[in-house]
Amino acid sequence: MLRGMATADIRTSSEPRTNGHAPAVMPEARRNAGIPLDLAWVREARFTNRSAAERRAATLPARRSVKKAWQAAWLLRAVTCLDLTTLQGDDTPGNVSRLCAKARQPVRRDILERLGAEQLPITVGAVCVYHNLIEPAVEALAGSGIPVAAVSTGFPAGQTPLETKLSEIRASLLAGASEIDIVISRAHVLTGNFRALFDEVRAFREVCGDAHMKTIIATGELGTLRNVRAASLVCMMAGADFIKTSTGKEPTNATLPGSLIMLRAARDYFERTGYVVGFKPAGGIRTAKQSLDWLALMKEELGDSWLRPSLFRIGASGLLTDIERQLWHTATGRYSAAHHHPMP
């Protein structure tokens, strides 16, 4: 079914309209080194139009048309961009090892064979765990090329002293993590203290060194889309490699309007500085259909160049089961029960 169709090409059966602003061709990506804090640019966030953002986001699920083989190609792309995550209080080395086995072979081989995709290198983008489970994850993923991401800096609330947060990052790097998901101090945004936010995120970036840093701004706790844009800009100025919507632990996590604002901030940052910053929605993305909405949003706002694991991740745990079920339906015309696609 997918033979001859590169999953790098995720055109839809009816190509979605773009807003005319997505970069057509992105030059070779340079890691974001950050720039000095530009408060005048941050203050421009007050012009963010919430109603326009909500109307734009509402059009995506309503007009998207991705069917059959094209849908399967999009869903396989979504799998490669997954940060397969377990952040539960009852996590053990055993269930993390099983999760890592799933990360190596996220889609059952018989499904890939039915789709004609058995030769494609389908693995997830990363495995994300708490600090104490980094070493079992690194051991289970040895030789796979799949990075281990660790949540840090007082995750999920971020209500710990700065030195403690910096020590957490150092410890996670020593344990073998190659990506660090940090949380910002939301109070800095809510009180308008953007200098403090910049200094905090800059300190995190300096300690991260070569490790990729994903900066969680917790959109559901920032109050307004204006704050979402301002926080996104400040974090990018401070050197974030990714901006991420949520911890997955807030009452409101990833939303399409909030994601739209963050993506447009990333696009503006690229156009003004030449630095490319990735994006990660996380929390509440549980169905294959939802993953397609975020892929379409990325494609339309930032273009195909951003649709790769180095610049786009989806933070999720249960999503993979539904994607496998949908791929099975594409291949056979029948839905299978969830227990045929178990997660650890």
We report the CATH number of the domain holding residue 263 as 3.20.20.70
The answer to whether residue 216 sits within a structural domain is: yes
Does residue 177 have a pLDDT over 60? yes
The answer to whether residue 343 sits within a structural domain is: no
Q: Is 49 or 127 the better-scoring residue by pLDDT?
A: 127
Expressed in angstroms, the distance from the first to the final Cα of the chain is 29
Please tell me the predicted confidence (pLDDT) of residue 60. 80
Cα 267 from Cα 298, distance rounded (Å)? 11
CB 276 within 8 A of CB 270: yes
Q: Which helix (H) or strand (E) holds 14?
A: none
Does residue 9 have a pLDDT over 50? no
The answer to whether residue 1 sits within a structural domain is: no
Q: Which helix (H) or strand (E) holds 103?
A: helix 93-104
Return the SS3 of 125: coil
Please tell me the predicted confidence (pLDDT) of residue 10. 43
Range 36-45, long-range pairs (CB < 8 A, 24+ positions): 36/237, 37/194, 37/195, 37/198, 37/234, 37/237, 37/238, 38/237, 39/194, 39/195, 41/233, 41/272, 42/194, 42/230, 42/233, 42/234, 43/230, 45/226, 45/227, 45/229, 45/230, 45/233
Please tell me the predicted confidence (pLDDT) of residue 28. 62
Please give the tally of structural domains in the chain.
Answer: 1
Does residue 14 have a pLDDT over 50? no
In this prediction, what percent of the chain has a pLDDT beyond 70? 90
Q: Decide: residue 163, CB within 10 A, 0-12 exposed, 13-18 middle, 19+ buried.
A: exposed
Q: Which helix (H) or strand (E) holds 215?
A: strand 212-216
pLDDT class of 16 with cuts at 50, 70, 90:
very low
Q: Is 154 or 47 the better-scoring residue by pLDDT?
A: 154
Please tell me the predicted confidence (pLDDT) of residue 320. 95
Please tell me the predicted confidence (pLDDT) of residue 209. 97
Rounded mean pLDDT, 184-193? 98
Torsion angles phi and psi, residue 127, rounded to 5: -115, 130
The answer to whether residue 18 sits within a structural domain is: no
pLDDT class of 188 with cuts at 50, 70, 90:
very high
Q: Decide: residue 194, CB within 10 A, 0-12 exposed, 13-18 middle, 19+ buried.
A: buried
Residue 103 is part of which domain span? 39-334
Please tell me the predicted confidence (pLDDT) of residue 333. 87
Q: Write down the residue that tokens 């720039």 correspond to.
A: 35
Q: Which helix (H) or strand (E) holds 181?
A: strand 179-183
Q: Which residues are catalytic?
A: 181, 244, 280
Torsion angles phi and psi, residue 18, rounded to 5: -110, 165
Please tell me the predicted confidence (pLDDT) of residue 78. 97
Please tell me the predicted confidence (pLDDT) of residue 8. 42
Q: Write down the residue that tokens 């890592």 correspond to.
A: 100
Please tell me the predicted confidence (pLDDT) of residue 18. 42
The answer to whether residue 91 sits within a structural domain is: yes
Model confidence over 322-331: pLDDT tens digits? 999 999 999 9
The two structure tokens encoding residue 21: 């602003």
Identify whether 156 is preceded by a cis peptide bond (ω within 30 of 0).
yes
The answer to whether residue 260 sits within a structural domain is: yes
Closest CA to 261 of 81, 59, 34, 49: 49
pLDDT class of 22 with cuts at 50, 70, 90:
low
The answer to whether residue 155 sits within a structural domain is: yes
Can you give the C-alpha Rg of the chain in angstroms?
A: 19
Model confidence over 257-307: pLDDT tens digits? 999 999 999 999 999 999 999 999 999 999 999 999 999 999 999 999 999
Q: Is 115 or 47 the better-scoring residue by pLDDT?
A: 115
Does residue 107 have a pLDDT over 90? yes
Return the SS3 of 311: coil
Q: Write down the residue that tokens 């997505």 correspond to.
A: 22
Model confidence over 24-80: pLDDT tens digits? 445 567 899 999 999 999 999 887 888 988 888 888 877 656 777 899 999 999 999
The answer to whether residue 211 sits within a structural domain is: yes
Instruction: Provide the residue count of the chain.
Output: 344
Choice among 57-71, 162-176, 231-245, 299-313 with the minimum mean pLDDT: 57-71
pLDDT class of 339 with cuts at 50, 70, 90:
low
Does residue 344 have a pLDDT over 80? no
CB 232 within 8 A of CB 32: no
- b/e map 81-117, b = 16+ CB within 10 Å: bbbbbbbeeebeeebbbbbbebbbebbeeebbebbbb
What sign does the dihedral 262-267-269-275 (CA atoms) show? positive
